[in-house]
Amino acid sequence: MKIAISAAETSGDLVASALIKSLLELNPECTIEGMAGDKMTAAGCQGLWHLNQVDVMGFSEVLKKLPSLLRLRKAMVAHFSEKAPAVFIGVDAPDFNFKIERQLKACGTKTVHFVSPSVWAWRSGRIKKIKESTDLMLCMFPFEVDFYRKHGQKALFVGHPLAETLQPRTNHQQGKKVLLMPGSREAEIRSLLPEMLGALKLMKKQDEEISFSLALANTNLQSWVEAQLVGLDVEVSIGDAHQKIKQTDLVIVASGTATLEIAMMGVPMVVVYKLSAISYQIAKRLLKTDYVSLPNVMLGKEIVPELLQDKANAVNISNSALQILAADNTQLVAELSSIHTQLNQGSAEKSAKAILEFIDA
């Protein structure tokens, strides 16, 4: 049995490597090949192409690389059309993978997509292309399955890989440690950090015992960030967010995947975000959910404060943070931790079993 796979982003390499390992454990005689990263090849995938050929960020970078991306996608379709696999698995990267899936599906190859795009939240019209591309959608969140079933798309909830590596902390004694996580992209850091630091100053006036630290995802803006912190007692660290989250009492965080990681560790948070005025107006019209942060979407209510756009200012952030620090957060922590319980499904093994059953169906 030959299984084809395509992960076109670094983030997909980790998810796909766990899936490959489970597929080979369940069926040691199958061969797996395709677009792979280093973790995937280490897990047993034969890399016909390396995901570094595709993994680019930014509009201008994509434009520069577009001719080679189109050639690569054409070569992959040609290869798997001539040497048809039992199934083609696209891992995340919908803009790249759906086109391959669609062409292979039209030729009779079974297709699976792992990691749903946020079609349930915005641009729901994409469902038509998804149905043309994908026989089976493997979903990380249970509410995604509800969306797909409404539209007649076969989908299965398999859980989130992060739930297997992150755990709700235990025996934490509530204190006054605050962690700032202003995001990973330059635009969000430059936009959000000044408001976070304004909140820090207001909070320090209210209670000098509150201590602050700041976690950056990478070193890209480290010097700029440190320049903003001159005169402030803030410890800066790089790339150790999970460890810092475990040790803190409250995280002030940019909206994104980090909110889910914090929730799965059972840590209170204040979620903030800002877009340009034009981007915000567009996003507001496209967004189909009541909430933007995944903890609130998961639980269907505002369990953590969301301060967006003009509301993401120093005064509001300070007020929300002080309120949480002063409260008994036992119930809040329990509800956040319940997200981990929901998502801890043994994602890789469950996905592998579903794929092998789908091949035999």
* pLDDT band, residue 53 (cuts 50/70/90): confident
Same fold, 2-159+345-360 and 177-343: yes
* Class of residue 229 by CB neighbours under 10 A (exposed 0-12, middle 13-18, buried 19+): middle
* Nearest partner of 218 among 238, 242, 192, 191, judged by Cα: 238
Note the pLDDT tens digit of each residue in 214-264. Answer: 999 889 899 999 999 999 999 999 989 999 999 999 999 999 889 999 999
How many other C-beta atoms lie within 10 A of the C-beta of residue 41? 15
As given in the structure block, the two tokens for residue 58 are 């930014």
Beta carbons within 8 Å of 317's beta carbon, 6+ residues apart = 195, 196, 198, 199, 252, 270, 272, 307
Going from N- to C-terminal start, the domains of the chain cover 2-159+345-360, 177-343
| CATH fold for domain 2-159+345-360 | Rossmann fold (3.40.50)
Report the pLDDT value the prediction gives residue 217, as an integer from 0 to 100.
86
Give the whole-angstrom CA distance, residue 164 versus residue 181: 23
Report the pLDDT value the prediction gives residue 59, as an integer from 0 to 100.
46
Beta carbons within 8 Å of 142's beta carbon, 6+ residues apart = 157, 342
58 pLDDT above the threshold of 50: no
Note the pLDDT tens digit of each residue in 315-347. Answer: 999 999 999 999 999 999 999 999 999 999 999
Q: Percent of the chain, pLDDT > 90?
A: 77
CATH annotation of 177-343: 3.40.50.2000
Report the pLDDT value the prediction gives residue 16, as an integer from 0 to 100.
94
Q: Percent of the chain, pLDDT > 70?
A: 92
Q: Give the 3-state DSSP-derived string for the chain, with helices as H, strands as E and coil as C.
A: CEEEEEECCHHHHHHHHHHHHHHHHHCCCCEEEEEECHHHHHHCCEEEEEHHHCCCCCHHHHHHHHHHHHHHHHHHHHHHHHCCCCEEEEECCHHHHHHHHHHHHHCCCCEEEECCCCCCCCCHHHHHHHHHHCCEEEECCHHHHHHHHHCCCCEEECCCHHHHCCCCCCCCCCCCEEEEECCCCHHHHHHHHHHHHHHHHHHHHHCCCCEEEEEECCCCCHHHHHHHCCCCCEEEEECCHHHHHHHCCEEEEECCHHHHHHHHCCCCEEEEECCCHHHHHHHHHHCCCCCCCHHHHHHCCCCCCEEEHHHCCHHHHHHHHHHHHHCCCHHHHHHHHHHHHHHCCCHHHHHHHHHHHHHHC
- Report whether 3 contacts 16 (CB < 8 A): no
Note the pLDDT tens digit of each residue in 146-189. Answer: 999 999 999 999 999 889 889 999 999 999 999 999 998 888 89
As given in the structure block, the two tokens for residue 35 are 């677009």
Report the pLDDT value the prediction gives residue 95, as an integer from 0 to 100.
87
Give the whole-angstrom CA distance, residue 195 versus residue 314: 5
Measured CA angle at 40 (ends 39, 41), to 5 deg: 95
